[in-house]
Amino acid sequence: MRLYTRPGQTAAKERPLIRLAVFDLDGTLHDSSAALTPAITMALQEIGVASPGGGVVESLYGQPLSVILSSLVPDPGLRPAFIEALVRIQARTVSESGRAYPGVPEMLLRLRSGGWRTAVCSNAGRSYVEMVLSAIGLSRLIDRAEGLGGFQDKAGSLSGILASEKPGRAFMIGDRHLDFQAAKANGLMSIGCAWGFGDPSELSQADLVADSPSSVPGLLEDLLRRSVSLRSG
């Protein structure tokens, strides 16, 4: 695997000046099911579209907005009204029901006290990312937060974070296949979150899988040692 190296550095001379842990948001830090499923259902009701059952909404968590829209709102003419309703409603439901997964604040504190920088890379818009982090009390524990913004996909957004942060070592932590694919596209190793929305086939794409947030710091140290070994081998 190609490992991330800062521009201008060689693998032989590089030192881990900055260790960066990049997290997905929904399904990784934010337990969004209690906030987003009702918001999506109510927004669909407002535009007269039936909400699908069978876990369809939950299966779309982590997907770009374009995928969510094409899956839930077949009529393009209704999509602007759906987006307006969703933004308005989810601001309330996230405030009322959004929460960090148990153990996430403590995990982030442990990483930061150990010298790690922390970032969020999400397929959602930056305004949503910032709203959620504020609502669930994690803003002070995240050094950099980015949504999809002007990038075409999560791989591009992650590349932007790496270019800005210029880490000596960086790793991606998420729960869906898009997280692990973005990591690989940028030469990063990754950790899958078993408590999120990804199924076993998705988690198998990660280098390691964490059973709980408390295990993430130790797994990051394992990947850090592995990356040093690969570079020196």
Question: For 188-197, how does the pLDDT look when each residue is reduced to its tens digit (9 = 90+)?
Answer: 999 999 999 9
Question: For 217-230, how does the pLDDT look when each residue is reduced to its tens digit (9 = 90+)?
Answer: 999 999 999 887 66
232 has pLDDT over 70: no
CA pair distance 161, 146, nearest whole angstrom: 8
pTM of whole model > 0.75?
A: yes
Percent of the chain clearing pLDDT 90 (strictly above): 73
pLDDT of residue 12: 46
Rounded to 10 degrees, the C-alpha dihedral 218/12/172/207 comes to -70
Supply the DSSP string of 54-100, one letter for each residue.
TTHHHHTTTS-HHHHHHHH---GGGHHHHHHHHHHHHHHHHHHH-EE
Token pair for residue 56?
A: 């369809």
Question: For 17-46, how does the pLDDT look when each residue is reduced to its tens digit (9 = 90+)?
Answer: 689 999 999 999 999 888 988 999 999 999
- For residues 80-109, give the mean pLDDT: 95
End-to-end alpha carbon distance in the chain: 13
Amino acid code (one letter) for 138: L
CA pair distance 168, 6, nearest whole angstrom: 6
User: Nearest 5°: phi and psi at 54?
Assistant: 65, 25
